[in-house]
Amino acid sequence: MVYNKQILTGLEHSQYEHDFDRAALEKLESIPFLTKASQWVTANFIERVYTVQYTGSNLKVTKDNYPQIHQYLVDACKILDLDRVPDLYIEWGYQINACTVGAENPIIILNSGLIDLCDDDEIMFIIGHECGHIKSNHMLYHMMAQTINFVIDAIPGGSLLAGGLQYALYYWDRMSEFTADRAGLLCCQNQEAMIRAFIKMAGLPIKEFDNIQTNTFLQQSRDFQMLDYDGMNKVVKFLSIADSTHPWTVMRSSELLKWIDAGEYDKFVNKHYLK
């Protein structure tokens, strides 16, 4: 049961969508036949493979077997006003990580390390991030971005024909993370927990968990923002992540801090935005 958090009834993803996400998605949707092709590939191949892989290998969590873990997901869906609760699985791994697969019937997968190494609100931030992808209808192109290399390899001359599409998908996928992070914060409604989660994901050793320094990480994130004023640094940033589907952890926290500093987050949690 959700305690001390605003239930964001009537929440629409367009209300908190990152501008970079929206602009990149519009470019993707303008590519002829991409949406139809993505729907066909996902429905007939990708989703089936991923569903078999995760449901056949990992632990399904329900309200009956692991009710406390399942409750995190139920609460996240309730807070974000997600119309259905997706299936939840846990896979072994000690990175603090989670992912979502499937477009028609998405499922969320949590690493064991996430549950063991994070407190309640940190877990809610990460699960809320995954629920944000579902709420924003990211999953169709998200699945294509995850598997575009396999699709290209299966087509003769595919690397020449689809190289631009590959990078367009990767770029949008990175930008979609900024929107999902906002959903994660709206879900956990705890800025300190959000920063702690980023610090742990960035590589803090377990031995230092009792000595976590949020102020220095906040400063590091703000310093990273300042690098944007140097054109060469922008080029270096782009080239170093051009083939990645996720932006850097510090970059993600930097973008989220901009949203908070602009007062946008407060509009939701203080009930000034949603009726």
pLDDT of amino acid 272: 46
The per-residue pLDDT for range 42-98, each reduced to its tens digit, is 777 777 788 888 888 899 999 999 999 999 999 999 999 999 999 999 999 999 999
pLDDT at 234: 56
Residue closest to 182 by CA, chosen among 125, 241, 242, 248: 125
Q: Which residue has the higher pLDDT, 269 or 272?
A: 269
Tokens describing residue 190: 């705890």
pLDDT digits (tens, 9 = 90+) for 200-254: 999 999 999 999 999 999 999 888 866 555 554 555 555 555 555 565 888 899 9
pLDDT tens figures, 75-86: 999 999 999 999
Percentage of the residues of the chain whose pLDDT score is greater than 90: 54
All residues at 6 or more sequence positions from 101 whose CB lies less than 8 Å from its CB, including other chains: 47, 50, 51, 54, 107, 109, 139, 143, 146
Is residue 205 classed as helix, strand or coil in its secondary structure?
coil
Mean pLDDT of the chain: 84
- Whether residue 151 contacts residue 41, with contact meaning beta carbons closer than 8 Å, is answered with yes
Would the pLDDT of 115 be above 60? yes
Question: How many CB atoms are closer than 10 A to CB 252?
Answer: 22
Indicate the pTM of the whole model.
0.88
Query: Is the four-CA dihedral 134, 64, 189, 268 of positive or negative sign?
Result: positive
Q: Is 187 in a helix, a strand, or coil?
A: helix
- Sign of the dihedral through C-alpha 105, 27, 40, 150: negative
